[in-house]
Amino acid sequence: MKVLVVGANGQIGKHLVSLLQKTDHLEAKAMIRNEEQASFFENLGTEVVVANLEQDIETIAKAADGVDAIVFTAGSGAHTGKDKTIMVDLDGAVKTIEAAKVAGVKRFIMISSFDTRRSAIQSAPPSFAPYVAVKHYADEWLKSTDLDYTIIHPGVLTNESGAGLINAAFEVPRGEVPREDVASVIIACLENVATIGKEFQVVTGTKPIKDAIQSI
């Protein structure tokens, strides 16, 4: 299975590409914004495609040519304004979903925010509420399609080494989770068709990743 990693140069994206390339049955195609980011992926033997989420649907669909699944790990980042949050986390996500349809790619995994329900928008601090809102609508757009989607809602992301132990369910207590473990969760979802049509929250816990995903 070849997997287009959208946002490959992000922290989760780099972990995911590295882990995919270590398997014997999954292969990454890294979508990056510019050529200067390519060397990390080329050193892993990864196919690279340059495309920007602020470009049109057809450009993103062309980037998805020849893949079997798309993983959306992109994000505008904490240091950008509300304009980039809209253009990347909402419009970029929606265009990627639409590009999947154009490219004929059915499997789609979305990395979302921990809680994107409407109640979470209403209760979020004013500075964070716009981000929750755009993630809410991106998730809802994906769920309205006939794509084979999975939506992952990670807790507070850390750069700790992955422990391979998580707690995953539709709703779990808030907590932290290493980005490396989130990447492993993505792979477990790609390997498990039972995760299609489901969304879940994930934090560090006590269950091995594959066991936790199997019980979703």
For 102, the domain range is 2-155
Please state the φ and ψ torsions of residue 167, each to the nearest 5 degrees: -120, 120
Q: What is the mean pLDDT of each run of 10 residues along the chain (216 residues)?
A: 97 98 97 95 96 96 98 79 84 98 98 97 93 96 98 98 98 98 98 98 98 96
Judge contact between 177 and 205, C-beta under 8 A.
Answer: no
The DSSP bridge pattern shows strands 165-169 and 2-6 to be unpaired
Is 114 within the bounds of a domain?
A: yes
pLDDT of residue 23: 96
Please state the domain count of the chain. Answer: 1
**CATH number of the domain enclosing 26:** 3.40.50.720
The verdict on residue 165 lying in a domain is: no
Considering the domain boundaries, does residue 212 fall inside one?
A: no
Give the pLDDT score at 77: 63
pLDDT attached to residue 85: 87
Q: What confidence score (pLDDT) does residue 79 get?
A: 61
Distance CA 115, CA 36 (A): 34
The answer for residues whose C-beta is within 8 angstroms of residue 79's C-beta and 6 or more apart is: none
**pLDDT at position 81:** 65
Q: Within a domain: residue 168?
A: no
Positions marked catalytic = 131
End-to-end Cα separation, the chain, in angstroms: 22
Rounded Cα gap, residues 114 and 159, in angstroms:
17
- Predicted local distance difference test score (pLDDT) of residue 83: 77
pLDDT at 78: 58
Is position 180 within any domain?
no
Strand duo 69-72 + 47-50: pairing? unpaired
In this structure, is residue 25 part of a structural domain? Answer: yes
Q: How far apart are CA 92 and CA 141, in angstroms?
A: 12
Q: What is the pLDDT of residue 80?
A: 63
